Structure 1
Amino acid sequence: MGSPLSPVIANLFMEWVETRALSTATYKPKLWLRYVDDTFIIWEHGKEKLGEFMQHLNLVHEKIKFTMELEENSELPFLHVLVKKKEDGSLGHTVYRKKAHTDRYLNAKSHHHPAQLHSVMKTLITRSQRLADEDNKHQEMERIRTALLQNGFTRSSINKACRLPKAKHKEEKEVPIGNAYLPYIKGTTDKIRKIRAKRNIRTVFTTDIKISQMLPNPKTKVNLEQQGVYEIPCKDCQGSYIGQTNRRINVRKEEHQNAVKKDQKTSSLAQHVKSTAHTINFEKTRMIKNIEHTTARIIREAIEIEKLEHAR
């Protein structure tokens, strides 16, 4: 949900910024790789010249300011990858985790559909296979096994998930005539799903009221009486609408609510509700950043949309 054109415009603008910056720099990086607003560079001209290069970057456009993170202990995180410098000067890589990461995942003993529990294992295993090189793959897999065991998964289920199947040609499935949303109840809704599947009705399992929904929010409400970039989440999925406005965000939120009520075809939120039967969580509307300058708002909106797509 969000403008499909914004990421394209933001990328074009950032390409212009980096092209101008690199073409006019006295000292240039050996390697420059950018993904949205994260850039990885290899610098071989010393720290003093690196500081001068940073100043040069921040003079290209008044609304675009770069910050810098240097390697520490021959390691540097970039996106979800931890890049390591080896003794011979070559680079290795593995999965990056923040220092505060606890290895807590969905517990295998929790009341969730087996497919969701299996997805936890497959996601972690697939990520390790894709992001860790051969030198780090074994260590990464051992960490995943330990973490999954601590979260209630059995060794047999972990071993089964580790046997990654070869890619198979997917046969085209018949489009379901409709969707049925049911709270998952082990032994009951499973049977209902099979009955409905025979009639080409897809069953989507939902969670009931979460503990977090029953507790008061300890965080101070963000001021929505300002302009800027904002997010409106969906109650029933991980989707969110990212937008920007030069008016008060509360006013824009009310317009979105009216659009959903009237089922406006031009509203991304209204179309999301219509196509999925989900509920938009307008109460959780939050301001991402208060920005007055129009161009800066559009760029930040595009970046947030791209980040959201990347996180899914």
Structure 2
Amino acid sequence: MVLHTQVRLLSRGKIFRQLFGAAMGSPVSPLAANIFMEHLEQSAIATAPLNCKPKLWKRYVDDILEVVSKDGVIPLTDHLNSIDDSNSIKFTFEEEKDGRIPFLDTLIVRRDDGSVKLLVYLNFASHHPLHQKLGVVRTLMDRKNKIITEDTDKEEEEANIKKALNTCGYPPWSIDRVKKQMETPREKKNTKKDENSKSKGMVVIPYVEGVSERIARTFKNYNIATAMKPHCTLRNMLVHPKDKRDPLHTTDVIYAIPCKNCESTYVGETGRKFGKRIEEHRAEAEKAGATVRTRASRKASESKVNKSAITDHVMDKDHIIDWEEARVVGKEADRYKRWIKEAIQIRKQDNIMNRDEGQLTVVQRMQFLRNNVSTHVLLVSIEPHFSTTSHIYWSFHFERSCVARD
């Protein structure tokens, strides 16, 4: 099976052909790589010399945890690097220090009696919802209660947990709150659910400290569950494997075109290239604006229906359009959803050039949602936007993962 000979990629304005390896970005590549690694490690372990054969071998993607004798670390590494004929896979190693070694997001600690323990802690100062931080405490306490049998050992382990959590910035009240919750018996849920208590779906919102919690409490009053996700991560900021596409070549967009002389904005949508649609708007507006403005021509233009509301604005106000500031404000491949998002953008503008509220009327928009989305299972994603004045506002988008009616 050939995985790489036809792979092309664009980087820094140049097209490259991948010469080796599985296709980057292909959903098949991780599966193929994992199959190859399983074959490679099975061959390596089966043929490893007895003096360096590992007692434990656990792999997750490209991170491996192994238990091997101290004298067998280097011989085993050399043996692993000799298995791959292409010489493209290189194994390196990291030894434990002071009886500790990190693996994935855990810290494995070797006790004096030979047993090990795992430390998985989230720093309290990190930008995460409070319930996730309390979940760390609850997990450690629950593990202590279920695994350790002797009361004296439980007390000793709890002291270790408190000490470790204190190092990670956890205040005493966080531990006390979790212990109180665990000691309070849960009430049995009534199997017969009231109509008013039924869940009305889930909302996924980015986590912004102090804001997301208030939104979650508001949704809870209407029996809508809330899940939070990070909206600004190191991956988003640092990892950019593909070149940014020129907005003028982007298709299936909602766009906004401002006026130079006033605060009015035109909002439109197109399934074609954004740059092509701008050219059409500009050609008509500049043609109309170049005509000699006499009293007779002005009277005739009042009765003439132009193709675009931008042209109407140019003729009526005698203003100039700021074509350089035209921008894409949304992207949606589905035509009806794009019409809905266009209508939302029109409603968000304080001063609008548009003649109407978009392609779909309010009745048509509601009919579309009613025919395509189940009213009792609805998934909505909310995205935060930060203006130059640090004011936060939220835009709601109906996701395609909504449950559709038959």
Q: TM-score, normalised by structure 1?
A: 0.50
Asked which structure has the greater RCO (Cα within 8 Å, sep 6+), the reply is 1
Higher Cα radius of gyration: 2
TM-score normalized by structure 2? 0.40
